[in-house]
Structure 1
Amino acid sequence: MTELPAFRLEWVWRDEPATGSPEERATRADLRMSVGAEDLTRNEDPRTRVLAEHVTTALYPLAEWVAFNWWSLNADARPGTQISQLRFAYRNGVGDARGAWWMRSRRHVLRAACDGFHWPDVIFVPEGRETRVVWMPDATSATRERTRFVARGNAVVESAGFVVALRGFVDAVTERLAARGITGTPLQTEWDAIRRAGEEETAFCLAAARLGLDPYSEAGPHREAIAEVLKQLPEPLATDFLNGVGAEHVTDRLGWLAEARGLVGPARDDASAEVAELRAACADLRERFFAPGATDNPWEIGYQVADRVREWAGLRPTEPFDPAPLMHYETLPTAYLDRGLVALGARRGQRGPTLVAARRFTARPRRFLQARALWHLICDVHEEFLIAAAHTHRQHVARGFALEVLAPAQGIAALLADPAHLVSAEDVEVIADDYGVGNIVVEHQLDNRVLAQNFEWTPPAAGVR
């Protein structure tokens, strides 16, 4: 099991200043926020240029932001799409050309807690067992004198520990207010409601957050549709579904699933021989991924499963792989374009392993879709699965598998002959043609693997490809 860095919030209360609201004065403190050994609050004094690991500020606005965005910070993976679309995001952070924080999700971006205070530019995105934390420095050309945050990083932390840290922080702030005789603040009212939420209310709030909604102010019109999802779909299908579809399309998408299940047909008793062989070959990796409390990098497990599949198929790294013969494929197009729910798959359909796509795909995107489905056929513990645009743990591992099984990093390096040199657009196009995939597949592999500093590659012997 991979040991993830810990997310920590540490503070030391300070004497109350003479100015500010009562709740701000009562919660003034030195605050340090860190992921492992990295300090997200590392900052430079604009006058002395001295660096510090903490910032002195009122903690009330931050605690209020956490409370009012509690369910989103626990369950809404949608901002992961924004991060994934930025080149090098999963390796180096998203850089300074990311746009202002108010153009991004105010429920996930710490800077939205402003209330007149300057906070680090950090985004938190729950991905299931793990929560991604991306933090960026302030631009050096700040137009006014203020503390400049200087740290940059991109890491995942265990979601359970992240939630515990946030809960302990808000508890401490509310207790500090009560000890100072301050009651009835929006923070205390909101946090009390969250703390008193029962099992049914909690399930609804998490489901609403996965749809990108605030459970208390936006989810009311969607309550019946959300309840139907929780009734019809088991976990983790419900999580993938809710993180992928638009809130206004939930009922429609459930109807599409019913039709797609009709195309899949009744389950057969006998499984596909090839899929059965692959499931046996990858059983240990499946157990690692689904083990309770597992924190292994989902992308890395996807890569390892891909290596096993290519070895089973007897392919060299430079040879293309076609997943199509391993499953039956159907298309059930919708009347409108909703890119959230991409396909439904089943391991034991009437015609064997079956994938039903929600829209028409041309050859190369369809090959990537089928490769994503193949991971579920080989490794998923459920007979039925969804392919969604969601950035959840399961969808991540399937994407990582698809990239590596279709265009292996070692094969791309071999085709380049010298991956340390500049890679041109023509190189990408030729390699994509060799593997029969879209250019974006090769670009992702270059960005995330082949051109990474820790990529190990040994040139093949002369004449060997």
Structure 2
Amino acid sequence: MSTLPDVAFTWKWHEPSTVPADELTATWADLEITVGSETPLTTVEDPVAGTVRPYTTGSLYPLAEWIAFHWWSLQADARPGTQISQLRFAYRNGVGDQRGSWWVRSRRHTLRAAGGGFRWPDAMIVPEGRQTRIVWMPDGVPARRPGPRHVARGNAVVGSEALAAALRGFVDAVVARLADWGITGTPLQREWAELGATDPAEEAFCRAAARLGLDPYTEAGPYAADIVRTVRELPEPMATDFLNGVAPQRVADRLRWVERAREVAGQGGQAHPAITELRELSADIRATFQAPDRLDNAWHLGYELARRVRAWAGTADTERFETDTLLTHHVEPVPYVDRGLVGYGTRTGAGGPVLVSNRTFTERPRRFLEARALCHFLFEHGPEFLIAAAHTHRQHIARGFALELLAPARGVAERLGDPRALVTAEDVEQIAEDYGAGTIVVEHQLDNQLLAQDFRWEPIVPTVFRPVRYPKGAGR
């Protein structure tokens, strides 16, 4: 079983310099935030003192208030995962620091937005289902402001329940500190008390609204009926992927599209014999992914599943895999470009395994979509699924599968000859063309696998052909 790193908040209170104290001075402390054995994301360099320390110093009240007011987003909203993917600052051994300014990212997930006059680490917290990704980056150089600067860099996945417990314990401690100093009626205390009184039905609504990218208390009102309808009409996990991918104003329209897609796909058909065989072959991966107590990396499970499918098909790592032989692909168009909800699929459609997409795709993106659908056919417990832009645990295993099925990391390395050498844009385009995959597929394989520190690859020793020596005057 994969063991995820622990996340911990450790603090040491300072005694207030003034009495009576307000909420800022009463909660002044040294704070260290650690994720496993990674460099603490609170690591600070003080250029004046010439020191580096693992903690930051300031009032913990603003950070606790930020956690409380964005509690449901931190628990359920996977949408900022798109920002991590697009900005491409999450790859520790990849393309480097291309973040752009922190304030263009979601303030509900960016720790620095806690503000309060304090400079918090530039970190993002994005839930992906049972797991939550935490990415933190050092302050830019040269520094935009004088004084101490955060210098740590990390990219880790932690258990969502463990993170929620750590966040809850931290806020509880700040609230208790306020009470110890006789401070009452702060926004933090009121918000935290209301969260603690949330009943199960309200919590379910709040999580659903957060998945839609909304604050449940201030923004979800106009969409409440659509949220309730989604949870009622779509089974889990379809509802989670749907809400994490669809725009709030499109919910009713996209629910109607799912109904039409179901009609197009039909029902009652038999699964393709090959799909049945592959499901048996991948039963252990499916069980691992679905087990509630397992926290294995979804991308790595996708890679392993793709390798098994290629081996089953007898397709070498350097060869193109045909995606359309195991499914039927239909198009049920929408009158606008919708990147949030891309497709619907069922393993038991009228013609067997069926994929229905919302528009006609050119070859390369079509093949990637079909590869994602094939993965869902193999690991889903139920027959139906959605393919969405959501960065959830389920969508990640399908993306990892599609990357490795279309452009296997070892095959890409073999085609490059030496993946550690300089790779040009022309190299990427040629490999993508040979595999029938998008250039971004090859780039992701380079970033995520070939450039990873633990990637192991040994080149195949080429066969040495010795020239044939003909006797003088012999015909050739």
Q: TM-score range by the shorter chain?
A: over 0.9
Q: CA deviation at 1:193?
A: 1.0
Q: How far apart are the structure 1 equivalents of 2:91 and 2:239?
A: 26
Give SS of 1:12's match. Answer: strand
RMSD between superposed Cα atoms in Å: 1.6
Matched, 1:246 2:264: no
| Letter of the structure 2 residue corresponding to residue 367 of structure 1 | R
Larger radius of gyration: 2
Q: CA deviation at 1:51?
A: 1.0
Q: How far apart are the structure 2 equivalents of 1:410 and 1:14?
A: 54
Structure 2 match to 1:134: 135
Q: CA deviation at 1:394?
A: 0.6
Q: CA deviation at 1:18?
A: 3.3
Q: How far apart are the structure 1 equivalents of 2:455 and 2:71?
A: 38
Q: Structure 1 pair 321/143, CA: closer, same or farther in 2 (3 Å)? A: closer
Q: Structure 1 pair 432/189, CA: closer, same or farther in 2 (3 Å)? A: same
| Letter of the structure 2 residue corresponding to residue 130 of structure 1 | Q
Q: CA deviation at 1:116?
A: 0.7
Structure 2 match to 1:313: 313
Q: How far apart are the structure 1 equivalents of 2:378 and 2:144?
A: 55
Q: CA deviation at 1:267?
A: 2.2
Q: CA deviation at 1:139?
A: 2.0
TM-score (normalizing by structure 1): 0.97
Which structure 2 residues correspond to residues 380-395 of structure 1 after superposition, within 5 A? 380-395=380-395
Farther off after superposition, 311-320 or 86-95: 86-95
Q: CA deviation at 1:115?
A: 1.0
Q: Structure 1 pair 413/51, CA: closer, same or farther in 2 (3 Å)? A: same
Q: CA deviation at 1:130?
A: 0.9
CA deviations 1:96-141 (Å, max 9, x no partner) are: 5412221111100011111111111111000111111111111232
Matched, 1:340 2:340: yes
CA deviations 1:325-382 (Å, max 9, x no partner) are: 1011100110122210000000000110000001111111100000000011011111
Give SS of 1:134's match. Answer: strand
| Letter of the structure 2 residue corresponding to residue 316 of structure 1 | A
Farther off after superposition, 438-447 or 138-147: 138-147
Structure 1 match to 2:324: 324
Structure 2 match to 1:147: 148
Q: CA deviation at 1:75?
A: 0.5
Structure 2 match to 1:301: 301
Q: CA deviation at 1:220?
A: 0.5
TM-score (normalizing by structure 2): 0.94
Which structure 2 residues correspond to residues 225-244 of structure 1 after superposition, within 5 A? 225-244=226-245
Structure 1 match to 2:158: 157
Q: How far apart are the structure 2 equivalents of 1:321 and 1:274?
A: 15
Q: CA deviation at 1:89?
A: 2.2
Q: How far apart are the structure 2 equivalents of 1:253 and 1:327?
A: 23
Q: CA deviation at 1:265?
A: 1.0
| Letter of the structure 2 residue corresponding to residue 52 of structure 1 | R
Cα pair 1:88 1:447 within 8 Å, conserved: no
Q: CA deviation at 1:143?
A: 4.1
Structure 1 match to 2:108: 107
Farther off after superposition, 348-357 or 177-186: 177-186
Farther off after superposition, 132-141 or 294-303: 132-141
CA deviations 1:166-197 (Å, max 9, x no partner) are: 00111111111112111111001111111111
| Letter of the structure 2 residue corresponding to residue 99 of structure 1 | G
Q: Structure 1 pair 249/180, CA: closer, same or farther in 2 (3 Å)? A: same
Q: Structure 1 pair 87/19, CA: closer, same or farther in 2 (3 Å)? A: farther
Structure 2 match to 1:205: 206
Cα pair 2:73 2:215 within 8 Å, conserved: yes
Q: How far apart are the structure 2 equivalents of 1:230 and 1:87?
A: 32
Matched, 1:399 2:405: no
Q: Structure 1 pair 407/136, CA: closer, same or farther in 2 (3 Å)? A: same
Number of residue pairs matched by the alignment: 463
Q: How far apart are the structure 2 equivalents of 1:20 and 1:400?
A: 56
Farther off after superposition, 279-288 or 41-50: 41-50
Structure 2 match to 1:375: 375
| Letter of the structure 2 residue corresponding to residue 195 of structure 1 | G
Cα pair 2:93 2:453 within 8 Å, conserved: no
Which structure 2 residues correspond to residues 398-437 of structure 1 after superposition, within 5 A? 398-437=398-437
Farther off after superposition, 298-307 or 412-421: 412-421
Structure 1, unmatched stretches of 5+, are none
| Letter of the structure 2 residue corresponding to residue 133 of structure 1 | I
| Letter of the structure 1 residue corresponding to residue 113 of structure 2 | A
Runs of 4+ in 1 over 6 A off after TM superposition: none
Q: How far apart are the structure 2 equivalents of 1:86 and 1:463?
A: 43
Give SS of 1:412's match. Answer: helix
Q: CA deviation at 1:87?
A: 3.7
Q: How far apart are the structure 1 equivalents of 2:407 and 2:358?
A: 25
Q: How far apart are the structure 2 equivalents of 1:20 and 1:177?
A: 12
Farther off after superposition, 91-100 or 215-224: 91-100
